[in-house]
Amino acid sequence: MSEKKIITVVGATGAQGGGLVRAILADPERRFVARALTRKPDSDKARALARLGAEVVAGDSDDPASLERAFAGAHGVFCVTNFWEHMSPEREGTQARAMAQATRKAGVRHVIWSTLEDTRKWIRLDDNRLPTLQGKYKVPHFDAKGAADHVFAEEAAPTTYLLASFYWENFIHFGMGPRQGAGDDLVLALPLGGARLPGIAAEDIGKCAYGVFRRGTDTIGQRIGVAGEVLSGPEMAAKMGRTLGRKIGFADVPFDAYRGLGFPGAEDLGNMFQFQAILGDEFLRSRDPGLSRDLNPQLLSFDAWLTANAGRMTIA
Ligand SMILES: NC(=O)c1ccc[n+]([C@@H]2O[C@H](COP(=O)([O-])OP(=O)(O)OC[C@H]3O[C@@H](n4cnc5c(N)ncnc54)[C@H](OP(=O)(O)O)[C@@H]3O)[C@@H](O)[C@H]2O)c1
């Protein structure tokens, strides 16, 4: 009897990796075994994954030996870093290198690296449209991931590069939801510069990653960008309004004003939105809802996501 292939999932207790673990376990054909890596195997989230049928293992991206143990015997590995926990691009790069090296040592056949663009390939450091941050970055949480792409190549890790989109959950957890405007009306305020925004239900990123693993190894070396839908600010506001039964307008916040809001990461996010607006159609082409639906036929539209999540959105 052939043994089932193991997929080790970094970030298994988080949004992207959690979606992947649940997708692996929800497959009625149970093609793969889900091995969920976490620093805290006793946490509620880790226990919930174990109850669903995942093999939960201890591991830490800051501890290379623990990665090698967790990747041993795995066919596939999903790699993600969490910039927002420490906001250090250098640490993110070190973690990515440790993961890439551990996949090589373990002889992993297919790696998915959850990456983003190194924006400095488009906007050089001396281009003052975006202020330079932390001395050598334009969008630190993008740049460090994109800069780590070559590390996976250097380690000869058989890698599919997965580009995530803006999670619609940011409207719930990241303080980006609608807020009280003048009178009774609500306002969705984001710095989009008139651009449309590729967005996705966070759970769908993992489901798309599962679609990549299911396809086999054809996508190795490719960049696959996922999105649920691409919408303008006024379109998102109107859809939110219809779901919440409130009038919601859209305010396109100037990039400088957003960068100046003073919360941790405001400059990084302001630069991110401006980068996306500068790239325009090139950015939109890099995240394809059609391809995402091929990988994950259950892909949610924004309306479907709103219907499921309207009750979780708080008005600031
Ligand atoms: N929000 C967005 O719109 C968006 C869009 C695209 C990309 N992203 C990127 O998504 C990344 C975060 O992914 P997420 O949203 O899936 O994460 P998340 O929901 O914030 O959860 C973080 C996950 O990372 C794990 N983790 C953190 N540090 C670790 C370490 N040292 N070793 C092992 N595991 C570690 C945590 O595991 P334990 O705590 O259980 O160990 C947890 O599973 C960020 O880097 C962000 O830039 C976000």
> Is residue 175 within 6 Å of ligand 1 at its C-beta?
no
pLDDT tens for 155-187 read: 999 999 999 999 999 999 888 999 998 887 899
pLDDT at 29 over 80: yes
What's residue 258's pLDDT? 98
Distance CA 171, CA 240 (A): 10
Q: Is the CB of 81 under 6 A from ligand 1?
A: yes
For residue 54, is pLDDT > 70? yes
Query: pTM higher than 0.95, yes or no?
Result: yes
- How remote is the CA of residue 223 from the centroid of ligand 1, in Å? 20
Q: What is the DSSP string of 198-243?
A: EEE-HHHHHHHHHHHHHH-STTTT-EEE--SEEE-HHHHHHHHHHH
pLDDT of 2 above 60:
no
Q: Is the distance from the beta carbon of residue 14 to the nearest atom of ligand 1 less than 6 Å?
A: yes
What distances in angstroms separate CA 259 from CA 96, 133, 180, 254, one per listed residue?
27, 11, 21, 9
Query: CB of 40 closer than 6 A to ligand 1?
Result: yes
Is the distance from CB of 288 to CB of 229 less than 8 angstroms?
no
Kindly state the percentage of the chain with pLDDT values over 90: 95
**Residue whose CA is closest, atom 15 of ligand 1?**
15
15 lines ligand 1 (CB under 6 A): yes
| Average confidence score pLDDT of the chain | 97
* Closest to 171 (Cα-Cα) out of 183, 186, 157: 186
Atom 44 of ligand 1 has which residue's CA nearest to it?
82
pLDDT digits (tens, 9 = 90+) for 279-309: 999 999 999 999 999 999 999 999 999 999 9
Atom of ligand 1 nearest to the CA of 167: 3
Rounded to whole angstroms, the Cα distance separating 96 from 114 reads 10
Report pLDDT digits (tens) over 12-27.
999 999 999 999 999 9
CB neighbours of residue 158 within 10 Å: 17
